[in-house]
Each structure stands twice: as C-alpha cells, then as structure tokens.
C-alpha cells in the first residue's frame, strides 16, 4: 500500500496550489457578485429613469438641443478664431519675407499668372494689328 500512498502524495496539490485555487474562486465570486449588483442597479435606474425622463422630456429635449447648439457654436467660433490667427500669421510672415510653408507654391502660381497675362497681352497686340490691317484692306480710302 505504501507505493499507492506515495503516488497519491506525488500527484496531489500542495498547499500553495490549494490557496491559489481558493483565491481564484473567491475572486471570481466577488467579481460576479459585484457585476450582479451593477446589473440590478442598472435595471432599477432604467425602471425609475424612463418615466422620469418621459415626464420631463418636454423640458429636457429642448434644453439638450439648446445646449448642443451652444456648445457647437462655441467650438466653431474657437476653430474659426484659430484659423484666422494662423492665416494672419502666415500672411505676416509672407510679407516679411520669412518664406512660410507653402510660399513657394504661391510664388509659382504668381509666376504662371504673370506669364499668362503676358501671353494674353501679346495675343491681343497681334490680333489688334491684324484687325487693323484687315480694316485698311477693306476700306483703302479710309
């Protein structure tokens, strides 16, 4: 019998393992208990809260809409103010010659625009002299 008893002792858990299992079970029970209380509290809050909300909804819904619009207006105003400040800062730096981010693109667009204006002016001069020559051909005595 001694060999069977020895095998049983070798495979049985020690005190540390038993305490770990007890702690795990107690923790699980505690978490499930707290979760149950929270679920019950939520159900109670819903049962009490829905009639109260329905009773006060003629006041709460417009109040919520007004608060939403007020907060949205404040946020939009803040964003617009920050955009204004950053654009004024960019323009100030541009005219001071400090080359802010993107100023190279502005200069390239300016050069393209000046080139287009120059081309249009040349075309207008060519067309004006061409039209003047045709008018003299049509009415040589004029």
Domain parsing of the chain, residue ranges: 2-101, 103-142
Nearest to 73 by CA among 61, 81, 62: 81
Q: Is the pTM of this model over 0.85?
A: no
Say if residues 106 and 94 touch (Cβ distance below 8 Å): yes
> How many Cα atoms are found within 13 Å in the side-chain-facing hemisphere of 105?
3
Tokens read off for 102: 């993107």
For residue range 82-129, list pLDDT tens digits in order: 999 999 999 999 888 888 888 888 889 989 999 999 998 988 888 777
């Amino acid at each position: 019998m001694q060999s069977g008893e020895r095998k049983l002792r070798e495979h049985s858990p020690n005190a540390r393992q038993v305490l770990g299992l007890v702690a795990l079970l107690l923790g699980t029970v505690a978490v499930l208990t707290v979760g149950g209380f929270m679920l019950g509290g939520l159900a109670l809050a819903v049962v009490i809260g829905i009639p109260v909300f329905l009773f006060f909804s003629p006041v709460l819904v417009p109040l919520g809409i007004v608060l939403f619009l007020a907060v949205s207006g404040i946020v939009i105003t803040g964003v617009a103010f920050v955009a204004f400040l950053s654009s004024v800062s960019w323009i100030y730096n541009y005219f001071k010659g400090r080359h802010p981010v993107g100023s190279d693109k502005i200069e390239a667009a300016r050069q393209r625009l000046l080139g287009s204006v120059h081309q249009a002016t040349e075309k207008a001069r060519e067309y004006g002299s061409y039209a003047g020559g045709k008018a003299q051909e049509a009415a040589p005595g004029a």
